[in-house]
A and B are shown apart, each in its own frame.
Chain A
Amino acid sequence: MIQKKICILGAAGVGKTSLTAQFVYSKFSEKYLSSMGVKIDRKVVHVDETDVNLMIWDVHGEEKYKKIPTSYLRGASGILMVIDGTRIDTVAVAEEVRQRVLDKLGDVPFVYLLNKSDLQDAWSINENIMQQLQVTGSPILLTSAKTGDNVETAFSTIAKAMLPT
């Protein structure tokens, strides 16, 4: 079976661990536990008649004084870049991390996840930001780790992007 490593990256508290937990264990918790280091989970996804064994690296949030070490990226074939749709400052963090990934890995597939889409009232992503993200050419998905909306799609989209065409 094809095996692929992906990293799920972004600012602290955007929902990386929640998205992974929803995808792998169909679970969601309102309680927030800041991740330290890396936790690895696996799940097989079925895309285009191929089974892909995804090795998911759920990495701690990027912070000003605690950057994501580039050694974590070693051997990764794809990146899920998570933004908290209710916190506009997490967009700039995603951009900074993306640059670091490009420097280290070159042109790997990215998928942007605008997470917490269930929080309609607090939604802060405007057209400008959408355009700014679209320029990168990477797919953009609205997800909710809480309702499970688009979570499967998120992981199968990145899996598909990593397969040879």
Chain B
Amino acid sequence: MNKPHIPKSISQRLASYHLANLSPAWVELAPNTEQIKSIGGKWQAYFTKQPKVNTNISDYCDTLQGMLPIEYAFELPHMQLKDNTYTDIIAFEDVSGGWLLFLDVTNNVLELQQYQQAANELHLLKGQLDRTLSRHIGHEIAQLAVDGDIQLNTEGERKIISTLFVDIRGFTNYNEKVDAQEVMNTLNAYMHEMLQSILDNHGIIDKIMGDGIMAIFGIAASNNNHVEDVFQAGLTIQQRIKALNEKRAQRQQEVLGVGVGIATGEAVLGILGSHERRAFTAIGKHVNLAARLESNARAGEILLDEVTLNALEKTPHHRRVNLELKGIGKVDVYTVVLD
């Protein structure tokens, strides 16, 4: 026979199982008032003095001021009635009047707080990093504009440039395993190597995307052909990351690899966005290609498109790979053989 209701002995068992650590206290209220009819349970956990029958409950519990009579059921989770304690307050009515139930959920909440803290800190720190970097980028572009090297018209200027994408492999996974501050330190360490390699080779940081960078070459002044610069930046990134990883391995720290994608072609350069928050950006087919190459590059790998490879004065050791790229189709690309 299938009984629709939970037998009383089970619901009692369930209640005592769940309530055991919650020090429950309850207050019965006269119908449609906030007047106390009776109290029960561990009231000491929630009120500094014992609530008296026929007085108002909000005289003992500040939090409830302006909230009563109950009218319709409500729950106030995680109320800090005292410093460092958390109480769930549950209010409902039945035929005889109103009920207020107080449950001490401090242990539970303190545990949740740890997770919350880690997540929020990471969020704030990421915001700071993004800002520092985009400020840096802003200054560089502004200087170029002042010097007349690029025109900051909203229509955009056409130019042959090289674009480099680089991204940390497996960072998202790593992110979930470790605490926020450590994640930030690690991200900063890898970002530093990548940014320095780009800046040293006359690249401009176009965007920072989480754990990756887009950089463009052929705009900032340089004595070299921008194809040489971009290739050198790619090599430097892999060398510096390798050196960083050797140091980290010695210190028993987690090591991560980066993938690099490079392509060359015509792009429209321009300023996007409104007056206060303009962003400089490059738009063009080869920019998408570079992004796709980067997402196909494995840790430690540099992938070049054909235009870049052919434009290099001294052709590097390479292997041809035929790749099917999302949104582009089948293309021959070149993986640089590093020694």
Contacts and interface: CB of A to CB of B under 8 A. Distances in A.
B131 A5 contact: no
A32 B124 contact: yes
B104 to A, nearest CB: 13
B75 A71 contact: yes
A13 interface: yes
B131 A86 contact: yes
Nearest to B91: A71
B66 A13 contact: no
Interface in B112-128: 112-113, 116-117, 120-121, 123-124, 127-128
Contacts of B77: 37, 69
Q: How large is the interface on B (under 10, 10 to 19, 20 to 34, 35 or more residues)?
A: 20 to 34
Interface in A56-70: 60-61, 66, 69
Interface string B246-289: 00000000000000000000000000001111000000000000
A37 B78 contact: yes
A24 interface: no
A127 B274 contact: yes
B80 A3 contact: no
Interface string A11-33: 01100000000000000000011
A69 to B, nearest CB: 6
Nearest to B127: A87
B80 A12 contact: no
Contacts of A37: 77-80, 86, 109
B79 A38 contact: yes
A44 B323 CA distance: 70
A77 B135 CA distance: 41
B76 interface: yes
A126 interface: yes
B54 interface: no
Nearest to B114: A34
A36 interface: yes
The residue among A5, A61, A122 with the most chain B CB atoms within 10 A of its own CB is A122
Nearest to A77: B66
B339 interface: no
A61 B120 contact: yes
Contacts of A86: 127, 131
Secondary structure at the A interface, as helix, strand, loop or mixed, is: loop
A59 to B, nearest CB: 10
Contacts of B127: 86-87
A128 to B, nearest CB: 6
A138 interface: no
Nearest to A12: B120
Nearest to B105: A37
Given A74-B74, A86-B131, A33 B65 contact: no
B117 A33 contact: yes
Interface in A79-137: 86-88, 121-122, 124, 126-128
A124 B66 CA distance: 38
Contacts of A87: 127
A5 B66 CA distance: 8
A5 to B, nearest CB: 5
Interface in B80-126: 80, 86, 109, 112-113, 116-117, 120-121, 123-124
B209 interface: no
B147 interface: no
Nearest to A69: B77
A122 B74 contact: no
Contacts of A12: 116, 120, 123
A39 interface: yes
A34 B123 contact: no
Contact of A75 (B67, B120, B123): B67
B63 interface: yes
Given A36-B113, A37-B77, A37-B86, A126 B120 contact: no
Given A75-B66, A87-B127, 20 more contacts: A3-B65, A3-B66, A13-B120, A13-B123, A32-B120, A34-B117, A34-B120, A37-B78, A38-B78, A40-B80, A42-B62, A55-B66, A69-B77, A71-B74, A71-B76, A74-B66, A75-B65, A86-B127, A122-B128, A124-B277
Interface of A: 3, 5, 12-13, 32-34, 36-40, 42, 55, 60-61, 66, 69, 71-72, 74-75, 86-88, 121-122, 124, 126-128
Sorted nearest first, the 10 A-B pairs with minimum C-beta distance are A37-B78, A126-B276, A75-B66, A39-B80, A71-B74, A34-B116, A34-B117, A12-B120, A34-B120, A122-B131
7 contacts: A32-B120, A34-B113, A37-B79, A38-B80, A124-B277, A126-B277, A127-B274
